[in-house]
Structure 1
Amino acid sequence: MRVLVLAVGRMKKGAEADIADRYLKRAVQAGRAIGIRSIEIVEIRESRAPDAERRKLEESIALANVIPEGAALVLLDERGEGLGSAAFADQIGRWRDAGQEFAVFVIGGADGLSDTLREKVRMTLGFGQATWPHQLVRIMLLEQLYRAVTILSGHPYHRE
């Protein structure tokens, strides 16, 4: 299985980028042993349209253009389901074991995503009800992906 993290906006250089890179490298390295062939980040340029609806539409079209056909599509949203780390790992493992070729995690822009794209998601995942900056959401997602591959590889999870 391959994992794609699609993010509207760029991660600027600095502490956040360093943390994201660290978790990405760890997840990629640990993932190979359990059948996660790659974890890639694709950044989508933010729309400069003057109104929110047009920005949502343009960003959603750009995202849809890079989502592989048949991917397990997960939207990150504060209204999404809050999964514990073990349940998140279990879901990744079920997709992998079912032969799912791609799991795609989408971090939308500040205005959200179009309803057309939202209708295609298999899961909406949230990291609590608070609104988080996109850079921190990316870090939290990469950390959870790293944690999921370590759980799936049999590494003892500290909460069990």
Structure 2
Amino acid sequence: MKIGLISVGKLSQAFLRDGVAEYAGRLQRYISYNSHELKESKGGSKPDPKVIREQEGERILARVPDGAYLVVLDERGRNYGSEELAEFLGRHMLQGTGELVFAIGGAYGLSRAVKERANLQLSLSAMTLTHQMARLLLLEQLYRGFTILRNEPYHNR
């Protein structure tokens, strides 16, 4: 199985870039991982969030491989604890899922088309997170999930 991450927007702060690089490196010890960082749409002086979501959504969907299991991050999505996420990862590995792709929208979220294509809408928190912080938290949780599956001491049960 491969894991992919499609995210909108550059990481603007060094601590986020460092954290994402750290957890992406850790994750690659367990599984093939790749990421695509898409450019944010600009709306001019009066941005229309719906138009921006649609433009970014088209670019996200263009990056999702055919047959991939798509998980989108949305604050109204399903809540998994760390151990439930590990079980989810383990199930997909056992079922032979070829590619598990996670998508994080931009500042205005995800388009309806992206949500409709998704196999799962996942929430990292009931609180609203910046899309940049969501990327870091997701990678940490994916890494944690693999350490749980291997019964390694990173996750204190």
Displacement, 1:13?
A: 4.8
- Whole-Å separation in 1 of the counterparts to 2:149 and 2:86: 6
State the TM-score, normalizing by the size of structure 2: 0.92
User: Among 124, 146, 150, which residue is 1:149 paired with?
Assistant: 146
Match of 1:24 in 2: 24
Backbone CA RMSD of aligned residues:
1.3
- Whole-Å separation in 1 of the counterparts to 2:156 and 2:61: 37
Count of residue pairs brought into register by the alignment: 153
Match of 1:107 in 2: 104
Cα deviation 1:24-77 (Å, max 9, x = unaligned): 111111x1xxxx2x1112101111134212111110000011101111111111
Displacement, 1:139?
A: 0.8
The amino acid of 1:12's aligned partner reads S
**Secondary structure of 1:80's aligned partner:** strand
- Whole-Å separation in 2 of the counterparts to 1:126 and 1:93: 19
Match of 1:46 in 2: 40
Match of 2:66 in 1: 69
Match of 2:82 in 1: 85
State the TM-score, normalizing by the size of structure 1: 0.90
The amino acid of 1:19's aligned partner reads G
Identity %: 37
Unmatched segments (≥5 aa) in structure 2:
none
**Secondary structure of 1:18's aligned partner:** helix
Runs of 4+ in 1 over 2 A off after TM superposition: none
User: Among 118, 123, 127, which residue is 1:130 paired with?
Assistant: 127
**Secondary structure of 1:158's aligned partner:** coil
**Secondary structure of 1:130's aligned partner:** coil
Unmatched segments (≥5 aa) in structure 1:
none
Cα deviation 1:61-104 (Å, max 9, x = unaligned): 00011101111111111111110111101101111111111111
